[in-house]
Amino acid sequence: MKLLSDVRLLSDMRLLRNRPTPPPPAEPGDVLATAEDLYVRLGTREVLRGVDITVRAGEVLALVGPNGAGKSTLLGALAADLPAAAGVVRIYGRPATEWSAPELALRRAVLPQSATLSFPFAVEEVVRMGRAPWAAVAPDENDPAVARAMAATEVTAFASRSFSALSGGERARVALARVLAQRAPLLLLDEPTAALDLKHQELVLRVCRERARAGDAVVVVLHDLGLAAAYAHRVAILHAGRIAAAGPPAEVFSDRLLTEVYDQPVEVLPHPRTGEVLVTPRRD
């Protein structure tokens, strides 16, 4: 019996020693991720060329630009899912390559462009997958975190339905709920509004703002420049693998720059009621 007890004790000690440590709470303005002179190649193509960017707690940073500009590639590099050909990505001040997978999972949560599952998991089971990094760290928080994430994305009503039976927009919201349930302080979202209707596009961006107000950092790839102008604290406009401009939307969105970047006449106008930035194609 004593031998068995000693084996269990050693096993418990090993689990405690190998358990990743969650990051400390971030203060607004803290730098959670950076890319420094970043180059990324996919196959033989150089997708990013000398990109510098800073991601801060308390902010929503929108990555915008035309198709093929490098938005999703930059998001993947910031997530440590794509390797740098040159330059460095840092997460919490350390090179991304120096973090283990469990450590990264406590620090950043990633929403890819599309979510597919091979097995008929129920919606709540999919959302609960987001809690996997915290299973041994904060198990008591699992149920409340899942419930909050499902409520925020309005998927609670079909918690027992099969993920594979959902519409495209419903799947997108469930996938986002999984990311929110992970409760990582750095959220990296790739086109979270692409499959959503008008109401839920607004809902998702409000959730992003709420997470930023709570002290998290949110990086979101958006094609809708109006949504970026309305909800992002800062935008980075990518063009041909480089950042053409970065800063608050009201400062960097201009007719000239957007027309050049998108190769399409664009007008930037003040909203007639609020004065906020509106972006629309110029139609003669």
Per-residue pLDDT of the chain (284 residues), as tens digits, is 444 444 444 444 444 456 788 999 899 999 999 999 999 999 999 999 999 999 999 999 999 999 999 999 999 999 999 999 999 999 999 999 999 999 999 999 999 987 777 788 999 999 999 999 988 788 889 999 999 999 999 999 999 999 999 999 999 999 999 999 999 999 999 999 999 999 999 999 999 999 999 999 999 999 999 999 999 999 999 999 999 999 999 999 999 999 999 999 999 999 999 888 999 999 98
CATH number of 23-107+184-254: 3.40.50.300
For the chain, strand residue ranges (E) read 31-42, 45-56, 60-64, 86-91, 94-95, 108-111, 186-190, 217-221, 234-239, 242-247, 266-270, 277-281
Closest to 241 in 3D by CA, of 43, 73, 80: 73
Interhelix angle 168-182/198-213, rounded to 10 degrees, is 10
**pLDDT score for 11:** 43
Place of tokens 């419930």: 147
Q: What pLDDT score was predicted for residue 10? A: 43
CA distance 64 to 228: 8
Give span(s): CATH 3.40.50.300, the chain.
23-107+184-254
Q: Which two tokens stand for residue 27?
A: 């203060």
Q: Which of 191, 188, 198, 233 is nearest to 213 (CA)?
A: 233
Rounded distance between C-alpha atoms, residue 150 and residue 145, angstroms: 9
Work out the widest C-alpha separation in the chain, in whole angstroms: 86
pLDDT (0 to 100) of residue 5: 45
State the Cα–Cα distance between residues 185 and 56, nearest whole angstrom: 10
Q: Output the pLDDT for position 9.
A: 43
The pair of structure tokens assigned to 35 is 């890319």
The two structure tokens encoding residue 53: 């960017």
